[in-house]
Structure 1
Amino acid sequence: MKTLIRLTLAVSALAIPALSFAQSAAPLTRAQVYEDLVRVEQAGYNPGESDDANYPSDIQAAEAKIAAQNGDHTTNEAVGGASTNGTSQAGTPRSGMTGNAVDSGQ
């Protein structure tokens, strides 16, 4: 019994680090980060400015300006990679069903 417990602990100790990677996308390269910095600087953001009181709003304004120029309709309020101003659909009604049973009083 002790051998089984030790074996289980050893296998789980080896398996947990392999399963704990959270990043699924490839990381950005230095060139991509530099290009992004150049774009926000051209849109009016100055990273050398020492006024930290306006930090989130001034870079968000520059990113919004870039998004408007590119025709993007996403906002900076996106959480976890998902925009908060979109729509979603959980599914479609089954065939033969005309409405929601709660709404129709059934």
Structure 2
Amino acid sequence: MKSLINIAFAVALVAPSLSHAAVPLTRAQVRAELIDLEDAGYNPIDDDNYPQNLEHAQAIVAQQNKANNAYGSDTAGASQSSGMAQTGEK
């Protein structure tokens, strides 16, 4: 019984520190997410295929975000030059 009380006490102490992890979205973030979903083909008024069309649009947005946040360069073999001659001085 004493160990059960200790476990309950430990959970009660840890719970507040874990609850801050879920940060609510701002109104602007929700609007931006809705715009991204609509750009991906989601229509909130179309209730005929509700879960499927939302999930499809979320998958498209996730792929776009994954491509935009991918590590590395998307310009394979490209180089840039300022057109200025290098003098060796810095």
- Going by fraction, where is helix more abundant, 1 or 2? 2
Larger relative contact order (Cα-Cα within 8 Å, sequence gap ≥ 6): 2
